[in-house]
Amino acid sequence: MGVVASAPAKVILFGEHFVVYGEPAIVLAIDTRAYAKIENRDDERLCLHSSNLNLSAYFEDGTFKVEQGNTREARMKFEPIRLAAERVLEMYGKHVGLNIEINSTVPVAAGLGSSAAVVAAVTAAAATLLSVKISKQDIFQITFEAEKIVHGTPSGIDPAISTFGGALLFQMDTGFKPLDVKMDIPLVIGDTGVERLTRVQVEKVRQVREKYPQVVEPMMFAAREIVLRAIDAIKKNDMNTLGDLMNINHALLYGLGVSDESLEWLINAARKAGAFGAKLTGAGGGGCMIALANDERLEQVLEAMKRAGGRTFTARKTDEGVRIEGA
Ligand code: PMV
């Protein structure tokens, strides 16, 4: 018998990079989910398998053994999952073996929070399987701790959104505030397929800011204004304004040097095909972009982005954070 849990991926709708310097960002949980199935074992092994990454490995008595795939990759992907499973086992009070099966269609290393979604799902599934009482706050804390292995000093956006779902306004000094979003925000997501490291892109922005402080300061101010106006547009269900703000936000990110050719192709294709607006999402330098379109145009925007070379899918906001799918 096993337990399956899932957790959502995310997109940053506005404010990436500027958020590092204290400005606000708007983040949405999307209906693309990572799934984890966990079963008991008779021995003490922690066995992990990811079907989409073709990786299998196990941890036992301090040893790590890879059965399928590249050792370095398996270690990098599985270490945060192991940490989460260990935390749940500590709460359970004794060490038992588990089979952990990951199934996720969330693009990896593309800024959609795939690792946090996987870890949140694993934490919830393991706790349910072992009948450990766990709150969403606990799941968030464990996922946050695990994310630190992946990202060093993450903002906590990804663990928060995959645990709680919905929409969040995030700011460094005040943390997360849930945003009440009634508006349907239909998005087409385009994955350039170009993997990048968030840390490298953040460093790029740091250098530009250091070299041209008087130029970048007003851009920070503009980014804050964009978020404030976006909150207003969301309240008024105003797709046109939201699209314009996405375009302006992207222009700022482009100016900071975090767009690239692969993103520009997809963004231009989306706009030409009738999207209200399009921008990169997350750290940039590859990874994903998002386009906002109404239902009539969604399909043609998706097709245009696909023709421009993107791996594309549609996504909508979801209020469902981490959840148990079934036992
Ligand atoms: O790692 P990603 O692609 O989800 O995006 C990171 C967002 C940044 O603002 C660039 C960095 C951060 O820590 O907020």
Q: State pLDDT tens for residues 223-241.
A: 999 999 999 999 999 999 9
Q: What is the best residue among 11, 115, 157, 201 to mutate for testing ligand 1's pocket, by most ligand atoms within 8 Å of CB?
A: 157
Which residue, 107, 135, 166, is CA-closest to 321? 166
Tokens of 92: 């359970």
Q: What is the pTM of this model?
A: 0.92
CATH 3.10.28.10 fits 3-179, yes or no: no
Looking at residue 99, its pLDDT comes to 97
Ligand 1 midpoint to CA 177 (Å): 18
SS3 of residue 194 by DSSP: coil
* Phi, psi torsion values for 77, nearest 5 degrees: -80, -35
Report whether 269 contacts 293 (CB < 8 A).
no
Query: How many Å apart are CA 125 and CA 179, to the nearest integer?
Result: 27
Report whether 166 contacts 322 (CB < 8 A).
no
190 lines ligand 1 (CB under 6 A): no
Residue 89, by phi and psi: left (phi above 0), alpha (psi -120 to 50) or beta?
A: alpha
282 lines ligand 1 (CB under 6 A): yes
Q: What residue type is assigned to position 298 of the chain?
A: L
Q: Report the nearest atom of ligand 1 relative to the CA of 157.
A: 14
Compute the average pLDDT of residues 23-43.
96
Ligand 1 midpoint to CA 282 (Å): 5
How do the domains of the chain map onto residue ranges? 3-179, 187-315
Q: Which residues are catalytic?
A: 158
Rounded to a whole number, what is the distance in angstroms from the first to the last CA of the chain?
7
Q: What residue type is assigned to position 304 of the chain?
A: A
Ligand 1 midpoint to CA 156 (Å): 10
Q: Say yes or no to pLDDT of 326 above 90.
A: no
Q: Which CATH superfamily is domain 187-315 in?
A: GHMP kinase, C-terminal domain (3.30.70.890)
Q: What residue type is assigned to position 86 of the chain?
A: E
Q: What residue type is assigned to position 308 of the chain?
A: A
Compute the average pLDDT of residues 183-189.
96
Looking at residue 8, its pLDDT comes to 98
283 lines ligand 1 (CB under 6 A): yes
